[in-house]
Structure 1
Amino acid sequence: MDLYGTQKVNEKGHLVIGGTDAVDLAHVYGTPLVVYDTALFRKRAAGFQETFKKMGIQAQVAYASKAFSSIAIYELAAQEGLSLDVVSGGELFTAAKADFPRERIHFHGNNKSYMELNYAFDEKIGCIVVDNFLELSMVKEIAATRRQQMKVLLRVTPGVEAHTHEFITTGQEDSKFGFDLKNGQADKAFGLAYDAPYLQLLGLHCHIGSQIFETDAFTHAAEALMEKMQVWKESYSFVCTVLNLGGGFGIRYTEEDHPLEPAQYVAEMAEVVLELSKSWNYPLPEIWIEPGRSLVGDAGTTLYTAGSEKEVPGVRTYIAVDGGMSDNIRPALYNANYTAAVANRMTAPHDTTVTIAGKCCESGDKLIVDAKLANVTEGDILAVFCTGAYTYSMAGNYNRFPRPAVIFAEEGQHQLVIRRETYEDITRLDLSLQQKVRKES
């Protein structure tokens, strides 16, 4: 069984994450519990940054925090010198609570509200990635009214389709995101932004999808954006100083996944930009990227406690855990696949086929179908790997289940960074029905 980051098996046969026994963590904090191997996060961040440095390219590596948002992860990203990609007022507020350097915050989203945009101006963030004409008009108006400068990128759809799940492709022409690069929308947006006195147009942005394993789609996108930038240079003598190529770099969830090392994605994209800049005599732009899943995905492991067992003779055996689609919606939403192990018996043969079911009242609440595990008994701790991205951030209170606790573990130390929700937390926004006063006849 392949392990991730600092994970190993100790002399007790227990899974160890960040130098700490996972079974002990489950006993201390309860389950479900999301454990982040922060050393792996740091390693991934350094890998992206060092690749650019070795190539002599000015760059910003922005953590795409929709993958997992919290004060603590923002603080960790700041420690590692990362920038930050936020997509809502809520994520921006969290970044402010974490005192993340405002000049390194980039604000995304396809339907930013007037209130959210004003908030971005209040916080004096580093850049707004403009997604559509309505937003562009609002940003221009707010900047002019406040007489406040704002840096902007134009998000474009380059017409590149990546080989990934249809729900998480975003770079093709039929997308809710961005200005189309081929039908004149991007040129019109350029004119509007270029003429705005309080906007500083930095350049172009694209994001072609998520969980992508090959580099061809990234290099084609880089070529498409560089070609448009060259046209604007020739036609308007305008030079884009920033080229943001987004994220979407795949990770390994199961043995069937074969992602490249993060550095290889970066190197091949950057090489295209270097070559085109040289051949066209185009000033080399600063390259920005936005890894999210590839920073936190395989750094996260969710621990569950096994409960009931149901055998359907000749069909399958179900093992239920104390979580499910309420803390990890991806299997139900995307048919996403995961790998699991019995954390308290890692050295036992994992040769029993079972289906790990959640406790939500939905037949589709299955975390892993036909998982290979050691023989599971009630009370065992199950570890589901690579749950660091798009799990807690997409978690909900279906069936009024509380969201799990989240901890960071590194070098034998562990720290609670999000406490477990309580029943009181779940009901605190509820209001009692106001009874009508019956009038006396």
Structure 2
Amino acid sequence: MDHFLYRDGALFAEDIPVADIAAAVGTPFYVYSTATLLRHFRLFDEALEGLDHLVCYAMKASSNQAILKTLAQAGAGMDVVSGGEYRRARAAGVPGEKIVFSGVGKTAAEVQLALEGGIRQFNVESEPEMQVINDTALAMGVVAPITIRVNPDVDAKTHAKIATGKSENKFGIPISRARDVYALAATLPGLEVIGIDVHIGSQLTELEPFEAAYVKVAELTEQLRADGHSIRRLDLGGGLGIPYARDNQAPPLPMDYGAMIKRTLGHLGCEIEIEPGRLIAGNAGLMVSEVIYVKSGEDRDFLIIDGAMNDLIRPAMYEAYHDIVPVIEPAPGVEPATYDIVGPVCETGDTFARQRQMPPVAAGDLVAFRSAGAYGAVMSSEYNSRPLIPEVLVNEDQFAVIRRRPTFDEMINRDSLPSWL
């Protein structure tokens, strides 16, 4: 569910017409709903009620300060994967003890940054990284709390580019070697082993892969405790999918996901962490664009819009589907038109949809890309010297620009000429 609905023939973001926002900030732009962000966070929090738990929002989905602060004030922790994301979380007022540091390539400088500013735990991905964290902590005279990310070799049944839990993926330590790696960690005085981490991928639409991974984690917990390790926290990652296509079968609900966690892991008495990102932010955002031209080709019509692959790269990168709807609701019974929906970037890959049926639109009309709140603005670029597009946050009948569109002069003046020019 989201809070982008038609009223009296116009698409609204909560209590504000989307067309009014477009008139104020120009197109293209992203718009997010506070009510949807908070509703989705609370669904996860309620799903784990009865367990000691923390819901850590995966910032890589959407990391604007206003979004982070909205979720932090609701009680969310943060899952970060870089020093920059750590700084963003701290700038949004998130205390260090509610920040989890994930990612396969943590540098010594990033480890030091987090140890100085406070950290809930590092999710360790390899023995060399473990050694770096140990050495950095010892040099600072502190002890670093860690979990070790295990790779359970489970097929997440998702897109190959966002699967992370199979043996050929770069993430984590093979679960078959976990006991040896935990034994090594116990010998390093700069580390405190507190738990296990697992994350098998993103946009999962079934619970079975999660359950297969969590059963393995439960078995490993018992083994590690028998080996003398104090396993008191289980970080289960994120990955629960969202319904991008409105007519597709909906993925499992957070409540069902929570029930499965309780069934497979609840008996262990561990604190549970989960790190949802897409399900919190995805349906909380739209990308809104204006139609520039409707172009007739030899065997198809092209809908050319002012949004492009640099603004929303998911379709080009993942063949991802987004529902695309007119901002003005079509009249009942109107016959659909069929378009290839494309942007103005000089790449054939700048294509959002091929042979998509939707209500007919004309030059100057506005269209909205649904479910664009996750992996949209954060993955955008200035390719073709196109400015980053604004981000807008709506709260009931108010809206604010939370990232403005830079001017062309600002873009150009970031370049520096060498002395010989």
**TM over 0.5: same fold?**
yes
Aligned pair in 2 of structure 1 residues 402, 370: CA closer, same or farther (>3 Å)?
A: same
Per the TM alignment, residue 350 of structure 1 is displaced from its structure 2 partner at its CA by 6.4
**Pairing 1:310-349 to 2, within 5 Å after superposition:** 310-313=295-298, 315-347=299-331, 349=334
SS at match of 1:69: coil
Matching residue of 1:353: 338
Aligned positions, number? 419
Counterpart among 387, 399, 406 of residue 414 in structure 1:
399
Tell me if structure 1 keeps the 8 A contact 2:218–2:264: no
Aligned pair in 2 of structure 1 residues 267, 390: CA closer, same or farther (>3 Å)?
A: same
Per the TM alignment, residue 50 of structure 1 is displaced from its structure 2 partner at its CA by 1.0
Which whole-Å CA distance do the structure 2 matches of 1:195 and 1:180 have between them? Answer: 20
Structure 2 counterpart of 1:188, one-letter code: D
Per the TM alignment, residue 344 of structure 1 is displaced from its structure 2 partner at its CA by 2.4
Tell me if structure 2 keeps the 8 A contact 1:9–1:346: no
**Pairing 1:15-414 to 2, within 5 Å after superposition:** 15-53=11-49, 56-182=50-176, 184=177, 186-236=178-228, 238-254=229-245, 255-274=247-266, 277=267, 282=268, 284-313=269-298, 315-347=299-331, 349=334, 351-414=336-399
Q: Please list the CA deviations of residues 367-422 of structure 1 after superposition, one character each: whole Å capped at 9, or x if unmatched.
A: 12222222211110111100011111111111011111001112111111111122
Q: CA RMSD in A?
A: 1.4
Per the TM alignment, residue 82 of structure 1 is displaced from its structure 2 partner at its CA by 0.6
Which whole-Å CA distance do the structure 2 matches of 1:167 and 1:356 have between them? Answer: 24
Aligned pair in 2 of structure 1 residues 193, 428: CA closer, same or farther (>3 Å)?
A: farther
Which whole-Å CA distance do the structure 2 matches of 1:265 and 1:125 have between them? Answer: 27
Per the TM alignment, residue 267 of structure 1 is displaced from its structure 2 partner at its CA by 1.6
Identity of aligned residues (%): 32
Tell me if structure 2 keeps the 8 A contact 1:131–1:155: yes
Q: Please list the CA deviations of residues 314-349 of structure 1 after superposition, one character each: whole Å capped at 9, or x if unmatched.
A: x21101111110011111111111111110234463
Structure 2 counterpart of 1:327, one-letter code: D
Structure 2 counterpart of 1:6, one-letter code: H
The answer for unaligned runs of 5 or more in structure 1 is 437-441
- Taking structure 2 as the reference length, the TM-score comes to 0.96
Q: Please list the CA deviations of residues 76-130 of structure 1 after superposition, one character each: whole Å capped at 9, or x if unmatched.
A: 1211101100000111111122121211001111011111111111111211111
- Taking structure 1 as the reference length, the TM-score comes to 0.92
Per the TM alignment, residue 148 of structure 1 is displaced from its structure 2 partner at its CA by 1.0
Structure 2 counterpart of 1:383, one-letter code: A
SS at match of 1:117: helix
Which whole-Å CA distance do the structure 1 matches of 2:291 and 2:329 have between them? Answer: 13
Tell me if structure 1 keeps the 8 A contact 2:193–2:230: no
The answer for unaligned runs of 5 or more in structure 2 is none
Which whole-Å CA distance do the structure 2 matches of 1:239 and 1:151 have between them? Answer: 12
Q: Please list the CA deviations of residues 30-54 of structure 1 after superposition, one character each: whole Å capped at 9, or x if unmatched.
A: 111101111011011111111211x
Per the TM alignment, residue 165 of structure 1 is displaced from its structure 2 partner at its CA by 0.5
Tell me if structure 1 keeps the 8 A contact 2:47–2:254: no
SS at match of 2:72: helix
Per the TM alignment, residue 266 of structure 1 is displaced from its structure 2 partner at its CA by 2.1
Tell me if structure 2 keeps the 8 A contact 1:213–1:249: yes
Tell me if structure 2 keeps the 8 A contact 1:62–1:288: yes
Per the TM alignment, residue 14 of structure 1 is displaced from its structure 2 partner at its CA by 0.9
SS at match of 1:345: coil
